[in-house]
């Protein structure tokens, strides 16, 4: 007998009578949650808010057993202060520990590193959960310059390394799971799945996340339909940089094959889709994330690639890809079909290096700078395993029946053989039909349609990918906010326009400072201003104001009141429509003149292996002397035009006066750094490291600060900032 009231026996009786019974109609015993509780039978949790503190390596609630339903309708489970900084959240809300046919439905789970964690739980059903406002890391990229510390890497998950980055829902070895009608916003990752097969993921919203909407690793034969994966993005500042930092709406890594995606909205991501074969393919040339189908999805407004699909074979049919850097980046893809897609306003609609046996048929291209860019590099790394095991020439493209309208270049092709282009319709203004054609072997441009066998036929009828009977319309509605220019990423991730926000209209170093008031429709008024003055004191959302800072340095704080639509702030707090809601803008950069000296050094004066020689070099005449107000340097080449890219050393001294209060001196460095405050060494990270954040506490008052820094080779970063605590 299973459950306190013998639910297993009851179901058996109804089955014998051939009477259908919905699980939701059964009366489960009502329980009250306690920290560390283990659920082993059907249960309905008494509605209310439960504060069940999270802890590393532990779950607040564990479900253990088979055939169990846990009903959380009307329940909120909090792991910590719901309005605290989310990078401090730890632990797991609900862990599902093995068993099969477990259902968890309803309820809010927030304030944890991982909302729901399930392992080896086949036929799991998660439905109607709100797993928003869980862990996410603080971002350090600014408006004008990004920071390398924000870059993500999901390439390895053999030992569940993805858990380091948090998740609303994380599934491992959960074959035949169903995930539907769940919501996760304002966290870092939504649904993350590894080593699972035959999932059904539908009618979910995993949007406004700072890294991944839906991640798959060694996950196969699954259906993903009618989901919203919008604004899953970092690493973007409109007009300054657009790298995405490996954020994406859908992530598919390491042999994730035979999955079907249809009618999903995957807009405004770092990438829309980021599909990569996996390290095993890179090393051996075998396998790939193959035979996936993508039908009638919207991959528009990605800051990097609408679709990145590499080292694999897949089919992309009737998708929408607009306003991306690359509509498609298909490096080393093979046996791949692009059919009936709509490309519009991309820098490059389809860009494929070293592609083979690619069919590009019956697509419409409009207003892209370059419609098709196909090429092979002159050389490849001789130590790389993939080209040792595979033919990697750029060859054998069928480009048939497409429409091209208003492009700078239709086809840019280099070092490619066996390319046949036929049946194309060219409209509007075309700058160049073909570039690079002299380097192409066997180029055949034929205006007549190709033979019927040219365009790769669909192996599966389109009817197999039609909307699900109860599938929601996940697409952005007509007239909705669209475009990369609408993406705002602050220190906690993408902004969702559900609350008023002040954001620079230029750079933070502009004088006077131009600011935009963003948010839902409504009006605002300026309540107070310190450290500067505004040219206007009232207005409607969407207006721009001009602020003139006062004094030396910046200690600006503007406080506003908004009245208008209902507000949901970035931590989930609500203000009813028509009620006043206060919001503020702060900019803090105390004045400091850094007396700075730079040196170059040779290998014989390496700071790690030849410390005495390095010290002797720093006693010689500096290569460069300057006084600067800030350090905000990042580069994969030269940090400054008048210094070489590598083997640099720097010493700087300055005095800062901070108002009363508590502060942090934040250092982001690649490579070595030493910091003295008032002649006391407070930080020594004197080694070669990737971009790393160090946060040093300071109190108000005057402080003498001394820095010593070196850059060896490769990427370099040196950011120094003062923040209020």
Q: Is 391 exposed, middle or buried (0-12, 13-18, 19+ CB in 10 A)?
A: exposed
- The candidate with the shortest Cα–Cα distance to 94, out of 204, 168, 161, 203, is 168
Helix/strand/coil percent split, the chain, to 5: 10, 45, 45
Give the whole-number percent of the chain exceeding pLDDT 90.
Answer: 87
Bigger pLDDT: 268 vs 11: 268
Cis preceding linkage at 512, omega within 30: yes
What are the distances in angstroms from CA 525 to CA 57, 132, 563, 619? 47, 31, 9, 57
**Which pLDDT score, from 0 to 100, does residue 437 have?**
65
Given pLDDT bands bounded at 50, 70 and 90, which one contains residue 16? very low
Averaged over 448-453, what is the pLDDT? 45
> Computed from CA positions of residues 40, 41, 45, 46, in that sequence, does the dihedral angle turn out positive or negative?
negative
Query: Could you read off the pLDDT of 556-609 as tens digits, one per residue?
Result: 999 999 999 999 999 999 999 999 999 999 999 999 999 999 999 999 999 999
Closest among 547, 557, 555 to 512, alpha carbons compared: 547
- CA of residue 496 relative to chain centroid, distance: 14
Beta bridge partners of 440: 416
- Comparing 87-101, 229-243, 444-458, 627-641, the range with the smallest average pLDDT is 444-458
Question: Closest Cα partner for 658 from 720, 592, 585, 584?
Answer: 592
Longest CA–CA span in the chain (Å) reads 95
d(CA 477, CA 479): 6
Q: How confident is the model at residue 450 (pLDDT cuts 50, 70, 90)?
A: very low
pLDDT band at residue 4 using 50, 70 and 90 as cut-offs: very low
Q: What is the pLDDT of residue 17?
A: 34
Q: State pLDDT tens for residues 333-348.
A: 999 999 999 999 999 9
- Which pLDDT score is estimated for 28? 87
pLDDT value of residue 13: 32
When the pLDDT of each residue in the chain is averaged and rounded to a whole number, the result is: 92
In this structure, are residues 410 and 350 in contact, taking their beta carbons and an 8 Å threshold? no
Name the band, by pLDDT with cuts 50, 70 and 90, for residue 438.
low
Locus of tokens 């920290």: 35
DSSP character for 498?
S
Tokens of 473: 């319309």
| Residues 276-330: tens digit of each pLDDT | 999 999 999 999 999 999 999 999 999 999 999 999 999 999 999 999 999 999 9
Tokens read off for 511? 């004088």
Q: State the Cα–Cα distance between residues 670 and 680, nearest whole angstrom.
A: 22
Q: What is the C-alpha separation between 213 and 236, in angstroms, rounded? A: 17
Q: Tell me which residue has tokens 């083979």.
A: 356
pLDDT tens sequence across 97-120: 999 999 999 999 999 999 999 999
Adjacency order of strands within the sheet including 48-51: 48-51, 75-78, 108-110
More confident residue, 306 or 18: 306
Q: What is the pLDDT of residue 597?
A: 98
| Positive or negative torsion for Cα 647, 149, 214, 102 | positive
Please tell me the pTM assigned to this model: 0.93
pLDDT recorded at residue 509: 85
CA–CA distance, 199 with 194 (Å, rounded to integer): 11
* pLDDT of residue 241 exceeding 60: yes
- Mean pLDDT, residues 15-33: 60
Task: State how far Cα 440 lies from the chain centre.
Answer: 37
Please check whether residue 177 is in contact with residue 202, taking contact to mean a CB–CB distance below 8 angstroms: no
Percent of the chain with pLDDT over 70: 93
pLDDT band at residue 19, thresholds of 50, 70 and 90?
very low
CA distances (Å), origin 647, targets 99, 596, 698:
57, 17, 31
Q: In this structure, are residues 501 and 583 in contact, taking their beta carbons and an 8 Å threshold?
A: yes
- Over residues 408-423, the pLDDT tens digits come to 999 999 999 999 998 8
- The H-assigned helical ranges of 350-420 are 385-389
Give every CB contact of residue 452 below 8 A, 6+ residues apart in sequence: none
CA-based radius of gyration for the chain:
28
Question: Which residues contact residue 479 at a Cβ distance below 8 angstroms, ignoring those fewer than 6 apart?
Answer: none
pLDDT score, position 393: 95
For residues 55 and 90, the answer to whether their CB atoms sit within 8 Å is: yes
Q: State residue 14 phi and psi, 5-degree precision.
A: -65, -35
- pLDDT tier at 439 (50, 70, 90 boundaries)? low
At residue 442, the pLDDT reads 59
Q: Which two tokens stand for residue 373?
A: 């860019």
Specify the residue for token string 């070293």: 354
Predicted local distance difference test score (pLDDT) of residue 457: 46
What pLDDT, on the 0 to 100 scale, is given for residue 668?
Answer: 97
> Is residue 460 very low, low, confident or very high in pLDDT (cuts 50, 70, 90)?
low
675 alpha-carbon distance from chain centroid: 33
Q: Does the pLDDT value for residue 458 go beyond 80?
A: no
pLDDT over 90 at 663, yes or no: yes
pLDDT at residue 528 greater than cutoff 60:
yes
Express each pLDDT in 365-407 by its tens digit. Answer: 999 999 999 999 999 988 899 999 999 999 999 999 999 999 9
For the stretch 50-103, pLDDT in tens is 999 999 989 999 999 999 999 999 999 999 999 999 999 999 999 999 999 999
């Amino acid at each position: 007998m299973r459950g306190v009231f013998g639910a297993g026996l009851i179901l058996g009786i109804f089955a014998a009578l051939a009477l259908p019974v919905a699980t939701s109609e059964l009366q489960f015993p009502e329980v009250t949650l306690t920290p560390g509780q283990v659920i082993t039978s059907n249960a309905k949790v008494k509605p209310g808010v439960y504060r069940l503190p999270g802890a590393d390596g532990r779950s607040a609630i564990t479900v253990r057993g088979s055939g169990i339903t846990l009903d959380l309708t009307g329940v909120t489970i909090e792991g910590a202060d719901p309005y605290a900084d989310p990078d401090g959240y730890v632990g797991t809300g609900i862990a599902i520990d093995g068993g099969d046919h477990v259902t968890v439905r309803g309820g809010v789970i927030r304030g944890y590193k991982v909302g729901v964690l399930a392992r080896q739980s086949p036929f799991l059903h998660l439905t109607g959960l709100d797993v928003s406002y869980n862990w996410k890391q603080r971002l350090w990229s600014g408006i004008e310059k990004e920071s390398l510390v924000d870059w993500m890497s999901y390439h390895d998950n053999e030992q569940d390394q993805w858990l380091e980055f948090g998740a609303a829902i994380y599934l491992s070895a959960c074959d035949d799971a169903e995930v539907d009608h769940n919501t996760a916003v304002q966290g870092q990752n939504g649904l993350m799945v590894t080593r699972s097969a035959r999932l059904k993921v539908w009618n979910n919203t995993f949007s406004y996340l700072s890294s991944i909407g839906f991640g798959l690793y060694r996950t196969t034969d699954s259906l993903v339909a009618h989901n919203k994966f919008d604004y899953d993005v970092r690493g973007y500042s409109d007009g300054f940089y657009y790298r995405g930092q490996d954020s994406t709406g859908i992530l598919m890594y390491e042999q994730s094959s035979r999955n079907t995606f249809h009618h999903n909205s995957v807009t405004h991501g770092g990438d829309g889709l980021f599909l990569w074969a996996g390290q095993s393919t890179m090393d051996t040339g075998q396998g790939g994330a193959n035979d996936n189908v993508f039908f009638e999805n919207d991959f528009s407004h990605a800051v990097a690639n609408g679709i990145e699909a590499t080292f694999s074979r897949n089919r992309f049919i009737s998708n929408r890809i607009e306003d991306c850097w690359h509509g498609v980046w298909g490096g080393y893809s093979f046996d791949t079909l692009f059919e009936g897609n709509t490309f519009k306003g991309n820098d490059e609609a389809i860009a494929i290096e070293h592609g083979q046996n690619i069919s590009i048929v019956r697509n419409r291209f409009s207003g892209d700078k370059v419609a098709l860019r196909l090429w092979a590099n002159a050389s490849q790394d001789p130590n790389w395993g993939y080209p040792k095991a595979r033919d990697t020439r750029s060859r054998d493209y069928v480009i048939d029946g497409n429409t091209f309208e208003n492009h700078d270049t239709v086809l840019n092709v280099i070092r490619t053989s066996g390319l046949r282009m036929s049946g194309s319709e060219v409209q509007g203004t075309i700058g160049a039909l073909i570039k690079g054609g002299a380097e192409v072997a066997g180029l055949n441009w034929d205006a007549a349609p190709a033979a019927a066998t040219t365009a790769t036929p669909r192996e599966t009828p389109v009817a197999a990918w039609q909307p699900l009977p109860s599938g929601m319309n996940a697409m952005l509605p007509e007239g909705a906010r669209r475009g990369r220019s609408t993406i705002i990423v602050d220190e906690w991730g993408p902004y969702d326009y559900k609350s008023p926000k002040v954001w620079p209209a230029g750079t933070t170093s502009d004088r006077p400072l131009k600011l935009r008031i963003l948010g839902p429709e409504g009006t605002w008024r300026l309540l107070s201003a310190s450290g500067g003055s505004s040219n206007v004191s009232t207005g409607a959302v969407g207006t721009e104001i001009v602020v003139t800072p006062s004094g030396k340095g910046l200690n600006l704080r503007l406080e506003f009141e908004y009245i208008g639509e209902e507000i949901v702030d970035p931590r989930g707090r609500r203000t009813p429509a028509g009620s006043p809601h206060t919001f503020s803008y702060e900019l803090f950069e105390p004045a400091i003149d850094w007396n700075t000296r730079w040196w170059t050094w040779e290998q014989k004066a390496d700071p790690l292996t030849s410390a005495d020689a390095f010290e002797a070099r720093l006693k010689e005449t500096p290569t460069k002397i300057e006084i600067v107000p800030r350090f905000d340097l990042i580069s994969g080449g030269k940090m400054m035009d008048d210094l070489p890219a590598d083997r640099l050393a720097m010493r700087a001294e300055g005095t800062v006066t901070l108002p009363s209060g508590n502060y942090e001196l934040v250092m982001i460095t690649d490579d070595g750094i030493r910091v003295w405050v008032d002649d006391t060494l407070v930080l020594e990270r004197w080694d070669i490291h990737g971009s790393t954040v160090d946060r040093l506490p300071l109190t108000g008052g005057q402080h003498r600060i001394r820095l010593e820094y070196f850059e060896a080779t490769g990427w370099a970063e040196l950011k120094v900032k003062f923040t209020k605590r």
